Amino acid sequence: MLGYIVGLAKMHIDTPRLHRKEAGTKTSFTTNQAHHRNLVSFAFAHTIYVDLTAHGLGHIYSHVIRTARSLYRCRLSCKHAFPSPDLMKEWAKDVWDEACARGGTHPYLLNKNEEFVYSGMRHLTDIKLRIKQVVEFLYGFDTSRAPESISRNAILAQALLANMTFVYGDLNFGGRPHYPYRHPIIQRVINITWFQNKDDDGIVFHEYFAPIPFEVIALVLTVIECCIDEWSDGAWKESSWSEERYMSIYISHLNTLRDFREHGLHQQGGDLLAQIQYDLLKGARMHAGAPPDPVTGGGRFPLAVLDAALQDDPLDYDPRRIRAITVSGE
């Protein structure tokens, strides 16, 4: 182990020499320079070796793996739930380097292990397992096998899925729903998935979640929609969705959010979404027991400006009612 680190140290010291060699300049060492190089290399390596053995290489390695896994999960959640194979490779390298840096370890000192890399399909499945009962409770599905319960569940599932009704704060079945992206389940799923406590991904890696990205909201809605679809026959049945269907629904929700951002006079849809993103972040951080705003996060969109921009809102937006129904993350 020590010999390996000495070799790395010599490579580090030789880097300027290699650059000179590529440029065609003198690269040889004098006797004194070679002796000095060996002494510096050994001292540097010995310092690292003592540090690694004192703290336990296995402990450092497992810490880096845990950090890399969390960072990779953050990218799946906040960048793209279904990255291409090339992007997955790029992420794997980037998160490994970042995890080593966060742990105070040089990437070359540890054997790279990509066990933290997994697919978007697995990520969605993990979230779905966490929120299945939340969907049942907040939308009112009945687990009874009685015929009337099965009939009611089927009607409920169809009504929720029609025109994305399930995303509204006021479902208003039989009429026009109100307050898009304000259903309490969105906040609850974000809390459960990324903001359980101060050590969860949403707090530790707050830079990914300030404000809550469209990608996170689209991912949450995709999983909720799948859970509702499992009740479409009236009795719960495990989903058989393929990765292609998950991806299609995810992209559809993402595009809808982007379209909504450009909606309305003076893009007032973007103003509304900015407030929703902030409120979701605030509620999630409160749920985790953290201050409402991260140390390095964006400022809150001024409510006075929002109220003025939405006076003639075609979506029948009422700021007072929205503030009343905003979930703080219980």
Domain boundaries, the chain: 2-118, 121-325
Residue 169 has φ and ψ, to the nearest 5°, of -70, -35
Q: How far is CA 329 from CA 19, 42, 146, 309, in A?
A: 55, 54, 34, 27
pLDDT of residue 322: 44
Q: What is the pLDDT of residue 297?
A: 44
Q: Are 83 and 91 in contact (CB under 8 A)?
A: yes
Q: Which helix (H) or strand (E) holds 59?
A: helix 57-78
* CA pair distance 262, 276, nearest whole angstrom: 15
Write out the chain's pLDDT in tens, 330 residues: 444 444 444 444 444 444 444 445 555 556 665 555 555 555 555 555 555 554 555 667 778 888 989 999 999 999 999 999 999 989 988 988 898 888 777 665 555 656 667 677 888 889 999 999 999 999 999 999 999 999 999 999 999 999 999 999 999 887 888 999 999 999 999 999 999 999 999 999 999 999 999 999 999 999 999 999 999 999 999 988 888 999 999 999 999 999 998 887 777 888 999 999 999 999 999 999 999 877 654 445 455 545 555 554 555 545 444 444 444 444
Q: CA Rg, the chain, in Å?
A: 26
What residues have CB less than 8 Å from 163, skipping those under 6 apart?
177
Q: For position 54, what pLDDT does the model report?
A: 46
> Which single residue is written with the structure tokens 């009429």?
175
Give residue 197's pLDDT. 96
Collect all residues with Cβ–Cβ distance below 8 Å to 309 and sequence separation of at least 6.
266, 268, 271
Cα 179 to Cα 169: distance, rounded to the nearest angstrom: 5
d(CA 310, CA 305): 9
Q: Would you say how long the chain is, in residues? A: 330
Task: Report the amino acid identity of residue 310.
Answer: L
Tokens at 100, concatenated: 């080593």
**pLDDT value at residue 176:** 86
Three-state SS letters, 93-138: HHHHHHHHHHCCCCHHHCCCCCCCCCCHHHHHHHHHHHHHHHHHHH
Question: What's the CA dihedral at 75, 269, 191, 223 to 10 degrees?
Answer: -70
- What is the enclosing helix (H) or strand (E) of 168? strand 168-170
pLDDT of residue 308: 56
| DSSP, residue by residue, 253-280 | HHHHHHHHHT-SGGGHHHHHHHHHHHHH
Are the beta carbons of 83 and 95 closer than 8 angstroms?
A: no
CA 147 – CA 154 distance, rounded (Å): 11
User: In the prediction, which pLDDT does 43 show?
Assistant: 55
Tokens of 41: 């290399």
